[in-house]
Amino acid sequence: MPEPRIPAAQVRRFLATAFEHLGMPAGDAQVVSQLMTEAELQGSDGHGVIRLVPYARRIRAGGINLKPDIRVVKEKAAMALIDGDNGMGHLVMKQAAELAIAKARQCGIAWVGSRLSNHAGPASLYARMALAQDMVGMYFAVGNANHLPPWGGLDMLLSTNPIAVAVPAGEEPPVVLDMATTVAAYGKVKAKAQRGEQMPVGWMIDRQGQPLTDPKRAEEGFLMPIGGYKGYGLAMIVGLLAGTLNGAAMGSEVVDFNHDDVTTTNTGQAILVIDPDAFGELDAFKARVDKLVRELRASERMPGVERIWMPGEQSHAKRIANERDGLALPAALRTQLDTFARDLGIPPLQDT
Amino acid sequence: MPEPRIPAAQVRRFLATAFEHLGMPAGDAQVVSQLMTEAELQGSDGHGVIRLVPYARRIRAGGINLKPDIRVVKEKAAMALIDGDNGMGHLVMKQAAELAIAKARQCGIAWVGSRLSNHAGPASLYARMALAQDMVGMYFAVGNANHLPPWGGLDMLLSTNPIAVAVPAGEEPPVVLDMATTVAAYGKVKAKAQRGEQMPVGWMIDRQGQPLTDPKRAEEGFLMPIGGYKGYGLAMIVGLLAGTLNGAAMGSEVVDFNHDDVTTTNTGQAILVIDPDAFGELDAFKARVDKLVRELRASERMPGVERIWMPGEQSHAKRIANERDGLALPAALRTQLDTFARDLGIPPLQDT
């Protein structure tokens, strides 16, 4: 029997009820639930519903401020720095994105950074917020656990600090890049271990700098940054712009939120919004993006390659299918959510 | 006998004289020569003196406008779009960087894009211009020859579009990342072929998507983007922001300047400047950068690793050494320059 598909609206309702029962104001619970459901819809399942339980654990431990005073602490015409007051990252970054969009409309471009924020879900969520206004969005964040040493080093002082960029197109889906600065995500390593498979050379190295291909030995090594020292440089730069610039945590200051539910993470993020309308005729720009997309897609292909994908095109297709058919949550996650709902005293997630 | 070291001032003078004799106004010749010498000083020798002869070839063929009317064609408080009128890229991007710095001082951040520009040397030159003002610089450019197919494809529709970011530090050297979006540069492949060595797996793939390790077969394959499809996505995004957004060439419109001296390249570039002073106390920011740099450098090292380098730290050391000791140009390049000088009717490059 195939897994039941659950309408996104049910998932959103369930999450909102859960957060309200955890003490979050109703309006904030709506915002967080909506963004977590968005993540699930676009296929970012590692940043979607699966996060409810760890978020709840952190909220109960007092590691999240449920009544934050999220406010602008520094501001100029085209920039702002937001103090998140240790609130949920979704609330902080939604506010940051909206402010950046408003400022970009005035100034052509704007940058809003955050400190004292928290994990906010997949990077592309916030870059994509600019798309509804026909603008370009770029998002940078300091990850909430350090998995990378500096190049040649052994101390894990850097996170897989992600970059997301969203560019509106005309008739084509928007181009949306959402990438960590490592070759493989840690979740992929765990999946290989579960299936008893070896990892390809290039995913991880051991403490001698040699390729590590046995996922069961993952604890003995490190994820590889993309392009070797280049990815190390990118991870550092993203951290400088999203963390250090804002007075947020970076390097050894980063709190591992997998192993610590209490300490304020002081997460730093940044969003950059560019208004293409300032550069010329908007429709002409979108037509040029369409032209490029079609040209790349029409490239002659390598043997065995069925289709050339644009960044974000597969997520776009998933979003459309999931909105139409509903979300398919893994059975183990459903069981976890049922237990969670019972403990919290709320109705379980409904299939229809 | 070691190669003679030539004072940077001599190189600058020689280049300026050459450009003036090619018909460039004296002030512009000064600017271009100074930036090409800067490139040489920081060790970007592929973008330094070696470019004189191909630039001269293009100038003589009429592919460069020596009396360009470089002007702002679109402008808002925090952005501008510059039409380079097919002038030397160095002139266009210097003006772009200066404008972005002035706007960032007012607005906290600014973005200036270019179209109808040309090759401007190493990306970091322009990102670094922000450092003298204690600001952060970011630079994106569309490369002047397509070396990359889209991921899974065979048609070379993308260039190794570079990204550079420069972040000021306090007592430490600035952090300067300057990277192409491919694992190896084409020059490294040629060097392997000359030495009769094989390339490591991961530098190139052939038309079947298999690793290509024989550099003599380089023409049969493609450079690999960093992180596979991630680097492809980055190359595309950089091209969208530096090219498509500005109405500059991208995809199949890119003119291969190695094989065509005449067609207007319509090169697109973009510079982003952030003023850390808008985000809080400047000295505190620089102290935080220093702290991070020192922490990364002090990491425990892998066996055989002598030192952990920051992005840009080796270029910084080269610049200091070259300013003190002079520039060591390869003998073959000296010979080429001597011939060039004789043909042009200018004095040869002087050693002292």
pLDDT digits (tens, 9 = 90+) for A266-318: 999 999 999 999 999 999 999 999 999 999 999 999 999 999 999 999 999 99
Amino acid identity of residue A120, one-letter, is A
Q: Does residue A206 share a domain with residue A144? A: no
Residue B185's pLDDT is what?
A: 76
Q: Quick one: average pLDDT of A44-56? A: 93
Cα Rg of chain B, angstroms: 21
B247 in A contact zone (CB under 8 Å): yes
| Amino acid code (one letter) for B257 | F
Answer yes or no: do A156 and A235 share one domain.
yes
In whole angstroms, give the CA distance from residue B282 to residue B302.
35
CB contact under 8 A, A303 and B208: yes
Q: Does B161 share its domain with B265?
A: yes
- The count of domains in chain A is 3
Q: Are residues B164 and B252 in the same domain?
A: yes
Residues of chain B with pLDDT under 50: none
Cα separations in angstroms, B49 against A235, A239, A279, B38, B42: 32, 35, 34, 10, 12
Select the residue from B302, B307, B313, B316 to test the A interface by mutation, using most A Cβ atoms within 10 A. Answer: B302
Residue B317 included in any domain: no
pLDDT tens track for B72-115: 999 999 999 999 999 999 999 999 999 999 999 999 999 999 99
Tell me how far apart the alpha carbons of residues B80 and B75 are, in angstroms, rounded to a whole number: 4
Model confidence at A191, in pLDDT bands (50, 70, 90)? confident
> Within this chain, do residues B126 and B46 fall inside the same structural domain, yes or no?
no
CA–CA dist A324, A327 (Å, integer): 9
- From B254, which residue of chain A is nearest by alpha-carbon distance? A292
Listed residues A283, A298, A313: the one ending a domain = A298
Sign of CA dihedral A122, A126, A129, A130: negative
CA distance A33 to chain B (A): 29
What tokens were used for A237?
A: 């730069």
Q: Does A233 lie in the same domain as A219?
A: no
We report the CATH number of the domain holding residue B48 as 1.10.1530.10
Same domain, B52 and B133: no
Nearest to B288 by CA among A282, A207, A252, A148: A252
Whether residues B154 and A237 touch (CB distance < 8 A) is answered with no
In-domain check, residue A2: yes
Q: What is the pLDDT of residue A2?
A: 66
Selection from B239, B249, B64, B250 nearest residue B162 by Cα: B239
Can you tell me the ipTM of this complex? 0.96
CATH code of the domain containing B127: 3.30.1370.60
Inspect the interface and report whether the beta carbons of A292 and B136 lie closer than 8 Å. Answer: no
* A52-110 tens-digit pLDDT: 999 999 999 999 999 999 999 999 999 999 999 999 999 999 999 999 999 999 999 99
Residues B15 and B107 in one domain: no
**Residue A312 forms part of a structural domain:** no
The Cα B113–Cα B128 span in angstroms is 16
- Segment (H or E) for B187: helix B186-195
Q: For residues B300 and A308, give the distance between their C-alpha atoms in angstroms, rounded to a whole number.
A: 42
Instruction: State the Cα–Cα distance between residues A167 and B236, nearest whole angstrom.
Output: 11
The residues that bridge with B178 in the sheet, in sequence order, are: B164
Residue A99 CB partners (closer than 8 Å, separation 6+): A72, A80, A82, A110, A112
Q: Is residue A140 within 8 Å of residue A242, measured between CB atoms?
A: yes
Locate all alpha helices (DSSP H) within chain A, ordered by sequence: 8-21, 26-41, 52-60, 89-107, 124-128, 186-194, 229-242, 282-297, 313-325, 331-344
Predicted local confidence at residue A63, as pLDDT: 98
Angle CA(B68)–CA(B41)–CA(B194) in degrees, nearest 5? 100
A62: left (phi over 0), alpha (psi -120 to 50) or beta: left
Q: Report if residue B313 sits inside a domain.
A: no
Structure tokens at B31: 């600017």
Pair B35, B132 in one domain: no
The pLDDT value given to residue A352 = 80
Q: Are residues A169 and A237 in the same domain?
A: yes
What's the pLDDT score for residue A193? 85
Is residue B305, in this structure, part of any structural domain at all? Answer: no
Same domain flag for B176 and B136: yes
- What does the alpha-carbon distance between residue A344 and residue A346 come to, in Å, rounded to a whole number? 6
Residues A230 and A343 in one domain: no
Question: Average pLDDT of chain A?
Answer: 95
CA A72 to chain centre: 23
Which is it for the CA torsion A191, A192, A193, A197, positive or negative?
A: positive
In this complex, the residue of A167, A295, A302 whose CB is nearest that of residue B157 is A295
Q: Average pLDDT for residues A149-162, to the nearest whole number?
A: 94
In a domain, B315, yes or no: no
Q: Which residues contact B126 (CB under 8 A, 6 or more apart)?
A: B93, B94, B96, B97, B120, B137, B139, B164, B269, B271
Q: For chain B, report the end-to-end CA distance as a whole number of angstroms.
A: 17
Instruction: Look at residue A321 and tell me if it is in a domain.
Output: no
Give the position of tokens 């470089």.
B70
Which residue among B109, B240, B289 sits closest to A111, beta carbon to beta carbon?
Answer: B109
Residue B302 CA to residue A153 CA, distance in Å, equals: 6
Mutation test of the interface with chain A: which of B105, B109, B297, choosing the one with the most A Cβ atoms within 10 A?
B109
pTM value is 0.96
Q: Domain range spanning residue B217? A: 192-224
In a domain, B318, yes or no: no
Residue A192: predicted pLDDT = 87
